[in-house]
């Protein structure tokens, strides 16, 4: 039974890796920029619609607001996430609605993350940096508005 379970987990790992590779196939190897997101408050066990973020692109910082990304956990009053941005050639293409290219990734050390893509082909890889936090995409996707 344990050999079957090991083989099943390995097969699942290969499947997830293949899907993630396919989702990222249009992505340039070098990030175009970086993002950081901060939440202000979280309802216990329900999640939060995130508030503010910062895009660092070509040496400049651009503030933005976020709607549609939830953090699922109990007892967190402040949480953060960060990540890389790919395929961004103009800051004007960063805003808009992002949908999951790959959601629910489990990263090393138990961190969670997701890969998102907008209609302009901009890709974000984000991961929670708060211990024990799990990111979840809202049903309508994630909307970014530049400030």
Task: Locate 40 and state its tokens.
Answer: 């202000």
The proportion of the chain whose per-residue pLDDT surpasses 70, expressed as a percent, equals 58
pTM over 0.85: no
User: Could you report the per-residue pLDDT of 76-107, keeping only the tens digit for each?
Assistant: 666 788 999 999 999 999 999 999 876 555 45
Number of domains, the chain: 1
Length of the chain: 147
- Domain-located, residue 64: yes
Domain that holds residue 103: 28-146
83/126 Cα distance (integer angstroms):
4
What HEC string does the chain produce?
A: CHHHHHHHHHHHHHHHHHHHHHHCCCCCCCCCEEEEEECCCCECCCECCCCEEEEEECCEEEEEEEECEEEECCCCCCCEEEEEEECCCCHHHCCEEEEEEEEEEECHHHCEEEEEEECCCCEEEEEECCCCCEEEECCCCEEEEEC
- Domain-located, residue 89: yes
Q: 25 or 41: which carries more pLDDT confidence? A: 41
Per-residue buried b or exposed e for 11-27, using 16+ beta carbons within 10 Å of the residue's own CB = eeeeeeeeeeeebbeeb
- Domain-located, residue 122: yes
- Domain-located, residue 16: no
- Domain-located, residue 39: yes
**Average pLDDT value for the chain:** 73
Q: Which residues contact 125 (CB under 8 A, 6 or more apart)?
A: 83, 84, 86, 113, 114, 115
- Domain-located, residue 4: no
């Amino acid at each position: 039974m344990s050999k079957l379970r090991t083989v099943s987990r390995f097969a699942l790992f290969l499947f997830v890796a293949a899907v993630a590779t396919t989702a990222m196939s249009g992505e340039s190897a070098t990030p175009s920029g970086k993002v950081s997101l901060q939440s202000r408050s979280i309802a216990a066990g329900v999640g939060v619609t995130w508030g503010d973020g910062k895009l660092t692109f070509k040496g400049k910082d651009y503030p933005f607001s976020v709607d549609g990304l939830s953090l699922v956990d109990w007892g967190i009053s402040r949480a953060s996430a960060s990540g890389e941005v790919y395929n961004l050639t103009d800051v004007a293409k960063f805003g808009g609605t992002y949908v999951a290219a790959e959601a629910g990734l489990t990263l090393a050390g138990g961190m969670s993350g997701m890969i998102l893509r907008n209609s302009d082909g901009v890709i974000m890889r984000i991961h929670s940096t708060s211990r024990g936090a799990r990111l979840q995409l809202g049903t309508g996707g994630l909307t970014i508005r530049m400030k």
